[in-house]
Amino acid sequence: MKHIKLHITGAVQGVGFRPFVFNLAKRLNLKGYVINDTHGVIIEIQGEEKNINQFLISIQTEKPPLAHIFSQEIEELPLTDFKDFEIRKSKSAGKKEVFILPDISTCNECLKELTDPKNRRYRYPFINCTNCGPRFTIIEKLPYDRPNTTMKKFKMCPDCQKEYENPKDRRFHAQPNACPVCGPHLSLYTSDKKLVAEKEEALQKTIQLLKEGKILAVKGIGGFHLVCDATSDKAINTLRERKKRGEKPFAVMFKDIKQIKKYADITDFEEAVIFSPERPIVVIKKRQNTDLSEEVAPFLDRIGVFLPYSPLHHLLLNDYGKPLVMTSANLSDEPIVKDNEEAFEKLSVFTDYILTHNRDIKNRVDDSVVRVIDKKISFLRRSRGYAPLPIKLPFKLNKKVLAVGGHQKNTIAIAFDDKAFLSQHIGDLETIDACRNFEEIIYSFFKLYDFEPDVVVSDLHPRYYSTNWAKQLSKEKGIPLIQIQHHYAHALSLMAENQIKDEKIFAICWDGTGYGEDGKFWGGEFLTADYNRYERSFHFDYFKLIGGEKAVKEPRRVALSLLFDIFGKDIPDSFTKKAFKEKEIELLYKAYEKGLNAPLSSSVGRLFDAASSILGIRQVLSYEGQSGMIMENFYDWSVEDSYPFEIKENLIDWRPIFTALIEDKAEIKTKVSRFINTLAEVVITAYREKANGLKLGLSGGVFQNKPLTEKIIHLIQEEKIPVLLHKKVPANDGGLSLGQVAGVFKFS
């Protein structure tokens, strides 16, 4: 006979772990108990040694599909007099380290019940069980029990209570458990808040309205979506006009994978990602000549697709039949709307009707967006389905760290021991509401984990809201503020997620902009880095951004600056020259000459913009990164040559590249391909000159460009150079908070 105690940490609450343990113990004739605490799960078992050994094996091999065990401590204790095996009431005191599960898409068993007319939850839009449903979006505090969620206001009916209390039922302690008798329900309103219909009638009326070309706000798991027919030019153009969305692409939800294949060409791996329980939006190649509106993703050969992930989505898509635009419901640069009253206040100008429900959303969460690069997942946005699961660090911190991220695509992170908990996508901190949401998410993480930071980390940029907020917090709490240079943070995030500990890497960090230590705008950086320091081995030579912030939105201004640098005032005829009046060129040349509102930049993102202007692709951007995204359309793998470039000491000279681009008489796809090939060759050449066999790292938003990244990987494979890519956090600024956490390691 033996008596042992296990302490298990990880994603082990809200995933059916305790009933799994209960049934396993019963099967093996073991006595004892299992209990949730703020650290994870505690199990005490007593019985024959061979059965205990089998129990320990089965914990790992048979655990529920959503459970992730992070650590397991085993302690042997003296024999005691357990009478049976029981599930005890959760403990709520102590240090909170439990992994809060993300929201999980509807499981197959619930889907069967949803479509079974004999089932009591037939067509119930809030069906869920231990294996699926909302988690992070409804939790208010730990431990994850119903009274600590937004479901606490719904008293379970006798049938639901029976399921909830039965360890052999798959709804045992499923905290959002409900049914049509006792749970949340739908309500459909006009945009001016007049009730139209409720429950099933609301759903049927919604389908009818979509068929009439109406635009609806629909409350989902982590917030509202704006929804309309994805095959209707008129509906989508109306939505763009009302939302002032310009040409930024919309995500499209399809009823099943078969329907996606009618509209897009997908690889087997892309299909697996689309099908994954997280149900992210996946950017894939679209088919030509379908009835999908071109207005979904203007000028792009790709679309963001995803499958239904909530019961309401399944009902909507199956009843409607055709694909639906499902885009985050928010004003420009503001957070996704999550509350009913907020929806009537902010979304009525966009929508004809609002389909809402009475289950409150505690934590607003946008959809995650990924694409497949080199047969691996590359995050564009890490949010629903993934956040707030932690990233394991390759070291242990002896301080509790708050990292506040950057300005665009913001995420924050809290970290302690060897774990960094990244927030959901917060977005650009451009508006008062966005900044308020940033603060709310920080304080909600503090509350969830009883977290009090010992140190706060920010970007160097003096005008970022996140930087100034961190400075204020540092003063208020009397804790140190550490500032990490933007591109060094990119390199550090790459090292941390790839478990690099005691070695340097040669990190290429290319993006749109980042504040440099010399006060200039970096973005074409080659860094030799470890956790202690970095060296700027190379960077692209500086060029002027005529008009400052205007140049970020107008590729023609960046191109004009490069043309002035190469040719002086008398620039050659080009698409760029035609984009300005003669008088404008004269005035801008004077600003260029005198350096008036013309900060210096080394940004590769801006070089992409300049190339797109010279090639006649884009003169003014509708959204960030548009020029590079459109240029991907033209890339041709059969083009293998490139333009000349020069490396002078530690500078990459862009002038030969753009001189050759301007003089090139080839067709546009050849010129785009040569330009991208040139940037890949620059990476390899710089690596050969300075890396001395270090691992090559690729970070920054520019490496979300699929042809560029895959071209570099293709070239380095020939030379057997080890490469590090992002696979757990975005290469863009969404990964900065992880890098900022890693920057504290040298102080630990």
* Full DSSP string of 49-89: HHHHHHHHHHHHHS--TT-EEEEEEEEE-------SEEEPP
Is pLDDT at 629 greater than 70 in this prediction?
yes
Furthest-apart CA atoms within the chain: distance in Å: 94
pLDDT of residue 96: 60
pLDDT of residue 98: 66
Q: What is the pTM of this model?
A: 0.92
Residue predicted with more confidence, 249 or 649: 249
How confident is the model over 41-61, as a mean pLDDT? 92
CA dist 333 and 422 (Å) reads 21
- Residue 439 Cα distances to 415, 473, 644, angstroms: 17, 11, 48
At 493-539, the pLDDT tens digits run 999 999 999 999 999 999 999 999 999 999 999 999 999 999 999 99
User: Which residues, 6+ apart, have CB-to-CB distance to 212 below 8 Å?
Assistant: none
Q: Hey, what CATH class is 509-724 in?
A: alpha beta
Average pLDDT score, the chain: 94
Least-confidence region, from 135-139, 227-231, 240-244, 707-711 = 240-244
Helix (H, G, I), strand (E, B) or coil at 4: strand
How confident is the model over 12-36, as a mean pLDDT? 90
CA dist 136 and 150 (Å) reads 11
Q: Do the beta carbons of residue 86 and residue 23 sit within 8 Å? A: no
pLDDT of residue 220: 96
CA dist 557 and 368 (Å) reads 33
Closest Cα partner for 713 from 730, 690, 696? 696
- Residue extent(s) of CATH 3.30.420.40 domains in the chain: 509-724
Q: Which long-range contacts (CB under 8 A, 24 or more apart) does 294-298 make?
A: 294/233, 295/233, 295/236, 295/237, 295/240, 296/230, 296/236, 296/249, 296/250, 296/252, 296/325, 297/249, 297/250, 298/247, 298/249
> In the structure encoding, which two tokens stand for residue 196, read together?
């139209």
CA dist 674 and 663 (Å) reads 13
- The CATH code that applies to domain 381-498+733-747 is 3.30.420.360
Strands of the 85-87 sheet, one edge to the other: 68-76, 2-11, 41-47, 31-36, 85-87
Q: Do the beta carbons of residue 184 and residue 126 sit within 8 Å? A: yes
Instruction: Name the phi and psi angles at 541, rounded to 5.
Output: -60, 150
Is pLDDT at 99 greater than 90 in this prediction?
no
Least-confidence region, from 50-59, 117-126, 402-411, 697-706 = 50-59
Is pLDDT at 95 greater than 70 in this prediction?
no
pLDDT of residue 107: 92
Helix (H, G, I), strand (E, B) or coil at 95: coil
User: Which residues, 6+ apart, have CB-to-CB distance to 509 below 8 Å?
Assistant: 487, 488, 490, 491, 525, 526, 527, 699, 700
CA dist 546 and 559 (Å) reads 10
**Chain CA centroid to CA 143, Å:** 25
Closest Cα partner for 108 from 88, 129, 91, 126? 129
- The CATH code that applies to domain 2-87 is 3.30.70.100
pLDDT of residue 92: 63
The terminus-to-terminus CA distance of the chain in angstroms comes to: 44
Q: Do the beta carbons of residue 485 and residue 563 sit within 8 Å? A: no
- Residue extent(s) of CATH 3.90.870.30 domains in the chain: 100-380
Is pLDDT at 675 greater than 70 in this prediction?
yes
Q: Do the beta carbons of residue 271 and residue 287 sit within 8 Å? A: no
How confident is the model over 106-111, as a mean pLDDT? 95
At 202-253, the pLDDT tens digits run 999 999 999 999 999 999 999 999 999 999 999 999 999 998 889 999 999 9
Is pLDDT at 670 greater than 80 in this prediction?
yes
Write the secondary structure of 485-528 as one string of H (helix), E (strand) and C (coil).
CHHHHHHHHHHHHCCCCCCCEEEEEEEEEEECCCCCEEEEEEEE
| Residues forming a β-bridge with 43 | 6, 34
The rounded radius of gyration (Å) of the Cα atoms in the chain is 27
How confident is the model over 663-667, as a mean pLDDT? 96
How confident is the model over 564-581, as a mean pLDDT? 95
Tell me the CB-side half-sphere exposure of residue 684, using CA atoms within 13 A: 21
Closest Cα partner for 505 from 487, 485, 531? 531
Classify residue 475 as exposed, middle or buried by CB count within 10 Å of its CB (0-12, 13-18, 19+).
exposed
pLDDT of residue 97: 61
Q: CA 376, 379, 382: angle at the middle one, nearest 5? A: 140
Query: Could you say which DSSP state residue 362 is in?
Result: S
Q: Hey, what CATH class is 100-380 in?
A: alpha beta
At 259-281, the pLDDT tens digits run 999 999 999 999 999 999 899 99
